[in-house]
A and B are shown apart, each in its own frame.
Chain A
Amino acid sequence: MDTPNKLSRKDFTSDQEVRWCPGCGDYAILAAMQRTLPDLGVSREKTVFVSGIGCSSRFPYYMNTYGFHTIHGRAPAFATGVKLANPELDVWVVTGDGDGLSIGGNHFLHVLRRNVDLQLLMFNNRIYGLTKGQYSPTSLVGQKTPSTPFGSIDMPVNPCLVALGANARFVARGIDTSTSTLGELFKVAHAHKGTSFIEILQNCPVFNDGEWDNVAAREVASEHQLWVEHGKPLLFGKDKTKGLRLAPGGSHVDVVTIGENGVSLADVAVHDQTNRTLAFLLANLFLPEFPMAFGVLYCNPVASYDSAVAQQNAAAVEKLGTGDIDKLLRSGHTWNAG
């Protein structure tokens, strides 16, 4: 560790005035991050936050670390260059549903399939905030916004499903109303070597207020949130009496109540975070039929892209020796004149 003294939240807080709207869910996420980083034992100088454009992308300005606020949608590409240039750096990418799934959809796909070792946080508020309230790729059909006065007719995407489809090795979901679990998610995401994707449901109080109320509100949270844990049964509800039962063959799940219709705890599926099929099922659960799944839906590490690049570069040196420019310029046919 470079820093002998443990850092505090204050050490990770920059001197910049935070300029999100009052009540924005981003405040909670920022606080969770500033509180969690000291626990990770990382140093400020080796931490880099990279973002694109949008409300969420202002995040780096408020972190007292290195930060690069780049252009719309391209943060994963910048972050890939940063990580390949210096694999010692701890890279976090902050994006939103518009930045990451619309203009940056391509880079989102490719950073995930390559599995660059970084954490990719997507704040999903189902709306464009900074451009003042247009619908986003995660907005539901029928959403009325300045650009869809008669209601959106676009089919939305599900960020976790896109990530799984892109072969992401770490997919998690959190919510801005639960900062303690966000901190935990940041920790496991950080520990995972490869691209760690976290979708964070986040409220935009100005343009899409209450979008997640029916998941987030205190009175419904226990019924509508299913927090998954590796090796533990998939239970939810106030008394944890409800659970998910996996159909034979694993094609779908249904909700069961322990003690009803002869259902016992043994009938409830156990979460296996290395099971990609299960992860697809969990990521695709929506109200009102199902609770929404939170926590680490999928974690199945393989070698990260940057480590493979470093390995290939090292192997080339091993095999061919350190490159000598004079030899390079004289390779192939050469001749003397004069």
Chain B
Amino acid sequence: MDTPVRPKDADGREILDSVVIRFAGDSGDGMQLAGAQFTQTTAVAGNDLATFPDFPAEIRAPAGTTFGVSGFQIHFASHDVLTPGDDPDVLVAMNPAALKVNLKDVPAGGLVILNTGAFTAGNLKKAGYTKNPLEDGTLDAYRKLEIDVSKLTLAAVEPHGLGTKEGLRAKNLWTLGLLYWLFARDRGPTVEWLRRKFAKRPDLAEANIAALNAGHVYGETAELPTGISSYKIPKADLPPGHYRNITGNEALAWGLTAAGKLSGLPVFYGSYPITPASSVLHSLAGLKHYGVTTFQAEDEIAAICSAIGAAYAGIIGATATSGPGMALKGEALGLAIMTELPLVIFDIQRAGPSTGMPTKTEQSDLFQAVWGRNADAPLVVLAPATPGECFQMAIDAVRIALKYMTPVIVLSDGFIANGAEPWRIPEFASLPPIDVKFRVDPEGFHPYLRDPVSLARNWAKPGTPGLEHRIGGIEKSFDTGHISYDSENHHKMTKTRAAKIQNVANDLPEQKVELGNDSGELAIVGWGSTYGSINQAVRRCRKDGLDVSHIHIRHMWPLPRGLEKLLKNFRRVIVPELNNGQLARILRAEYLVPAEPLDKIEGMPFRVAEIHKAIVDTLAAKT
């Protein structure tokens, strides 16, 4: 929405390539719900999209305050979308606090939709406005739609007999109806969803549908202010296939479930609730008929210990957590490394240390994942770049854990966990099965017998006659598997554990360039959820003729083969991360390359513009 004269379709709708909408309101205003519904509908309309829910940690912060503002941003387009967008073209502000918090992000000329019904003296004061921004010129630079949504919603639901309090809850649907009209979305899926959601309260379903329709009718009939039109965003050219929206946590849960089927083993998932990992537990808890047992443990430690117990007993053991929970799981991870048992840990990172900012995203557990245990305790660390990749990454994690008899950490983050993107659904039959080998032959058995190539020890599960054995945290003899305090043996076992993990790299693809040439002036090296921002920025710069490439690492430990050589092909290496320079330090330590950190530790993803500027400045400084 950045060019003043735009083409129109036959219905008189302006045709746009891409739009970014931010819904903002009180945490009780149902903005996440409105956003999620808009997302589903937009996906069905054939646009590519990315979303970013941003909500406070408090369940219901005091109404009307700035710290209680909940936001949901969606970027949708007729081309491929990699990020939820830097700045919103459209801001929906359901109250003064939502306006106060979000207006600074809206570029001049952006569209601001306001619920004037919430701009009362009390709400203005709570938001910290001394003057009414609707009247003092604050909004002069914007196009605005000022509507008393509260009043119109109440009028719409009135025939359904709802009281004021219940009736006002439908404001979000009224607003959604208006947006559906503005962007030519089909109301059908939301109507169906409301009927399903309120199957037991048909009066509520019909009231909400009435609000949705009223918002839509308002758009159709009201005379819009000059400069505001209705819009059409043509379908995106997605690769052919069957699609759905998927969040990162959903994809992890489903990937783990699929891995169970692919390996023929039941899945045990022991977990303790923690933001933003809990929804993995919620997803899996409903999948008991897929051979998944979920166990809500008494604490983070019991969660991982129960999963290790399950792995010891011969099935897939998995757990998930976030930073503070990872810290608690450290000792048990050491035991899983020492006993060489397969285990999958999803760490959905959040801003820290300590409690930090639980609902805000960060990539600051990289050190903790790679090194955060006592002694030399290597394991495998993977990092998906997008919500969709989480599905395959969960399967890969199980495959590696079972083959190498090792814990595997999947480092996701709050942004990937809650963000959604259209995902091309794979056919289950197209996924390669996971090979599982249990030791059954008692001849010559001891628990630390190793595969000569992978160095993985053999897996002998209780219940197998003749393989009775004892394992534990005490160092074992390389040769007999018995307890050993022998100093040379400890040295050998430490080296063996490390070599085994390094062997995992042999199964993983060589590091490739994501975008651009495999040598040159500047490489932007990312990992995890910064993918979209980096890729978009590099793409833009390359269009402008700048010599910059995007390298994205998905296997954090062991690092991929070929990465060192690739990095050394570039004169400069910049590592954007949502932390204080952790990957940059690892790359420096491992390869002696002058990797430069570009850090952002604000609990928010990178904006494309931030990385774009870093590239432009870096390349300009050179000349």
Contact = CB atoms under 8 A, between A and B. Distances in A.
Nearest to A53: B473
Interface in B286-325: 287-291, 293, 295, 297-299, 301-303, 305-315, 317
Given A66-B469, A328-B257, A316 B240 contact: no
Interface class of chain B by DSSP: mixed
A79 B310 CA distance: 8
Nearest to A329: B425
A183 to B, nearest CB: 21
A307 interface: no
Contacts of A43: 465
Interface in A153-188: none
Contacts of B466: 45
Nearest to A87: B313
B288 A333 contact: no
A302 interface: no
A81 B308 contact: yes
Nearest to B266: A85
Interface string A52-76: 0100000011011111111100101
Contacts of A221: none
Contacts of B313: 48, 81-82, 85-86, 89
A76 B464 CA distance: 23
Interface string B422-433: 100111100000
B470 A68 contact: yes
B426 A328 contact: no
Greatest chain B CB density within 10 A among A45, A53, A319 is at A45
A316 B285 CA distance: 11
A48 B461 CA distance: 10
Contact of A74 (B237, B301, B312, B426): B301
B288 A317 contact: yes
Contact of A81 (B235, B238, B306, B470): B306
B43 A60 contact: no
A68 B312 contact: yes
Contacts of B469: 66-67
Interface residues of A, number: 63
Contact of A106 (B238, B298, B465): B298
A78 B308 contact: yes
A332 interface: yes
B62 interface: no
A100 to B, nearest CB: 14
Nearest to B338: A71
Given A67-B471, A69-B472, A106-B298, A82 B312 contact: yes
Contacts of B289: 313, 316-317, 319-323
Contacts of A1: none
A197 to B, nearest CB: 17
Nearest to A322: B289
Contacts of B274: none
Given A77-B301, A329-B426, A338 B244 contact: no
Contacts of B334: 71
B410 to A, nearest CB: 19
Contact of B305 (A61, A78, A86, A325): A78
B309 A79 contact: yes
Contacts of A64: 468
A109 B302 CA distance: 12
Contacts of B258: 325
Given A81-B295, A85-B313, 7 more contacts: A53-B473, A65-B468, A77-B306, A80-B302, A89-B462, A323-B289, A324-B428
Interface of A: 2, 14, 16, 43-46, 48, 50-51, 53, 60-61, 63-71, 74, 76-86, 88-89, 106-107, 109-110, 309, 312-313, 316-317, 319-326, 328-330, 332-338
| Across the A-B interface, the 7 shortest Cβ-Cβ residue pairs | A81-B309, A338-B240, A69-B472, A323-B290, A81-B306, A67-B470, A77-B305
